[in-house]
Amino acid sequence: MNGGLVVLGTLTVPGDAAHVRRVRAFAREVLGADHPLLGDIGLCLTEKFGNAVRHTASGRGGMVVVTLLGGDGLVRSEVTDDGAGGERPRRPGHGELAENGRGLLLVAALSRRWGYEADGVRTTVWAEY
């Protein structure tokens, strides 16, 4: 499903919020500090990583895999977790006023498109910029 994109880098870290800085640093290392979309991509990775830690088995002693792909002027970020136990990633509706739960709204606003793929064991949330 990565049609012509090549893997630029992959990082595997424990599903612990303490590793969010490492995820952002990984994006900077792979894309370069001067990449024009580094801020947007870093923020989206932070949100997707946080969701994996909070809402999936990755946050209970599991692992999270972060992958950056690129090609033809496109960057794709992927966060793969240990499965959500039936809970699907979803963007909150416009009328929902929760104090949190805005991460996928940010991903949708900052990316060209986003989505997820689940195989029954692991879930990958991706975004293209």
Q: Domain span at residue 69?
A: 6-128
**Count of the separate structural domains present in the chain:** 1
Predicted local confidence at residue 60, as pLDDT:
83
Residue 25: Cβ within 10 Å count: 13
Tens of pLDDT along 67-86?
A: 999 999 999 999 999 987 65
Q: What are the residue ranges in the chain where pLDDT is below 70?
A: 1-2, 85-101
Confirm whether 1 is domain-assigned: no
Predicted local confidence at residue 101, as pLDDT:
57
CA terminus-to-terminus distance, the chain? 16
Q: List the CATH number of the domain containing 108.
A: 3.30.565.10
Reading the block at residue 122, the tokens are: 């692991």
Task: Say what the pTM is.
Answer: 0.86
| Tokens 């692991």 sit on residue | 122
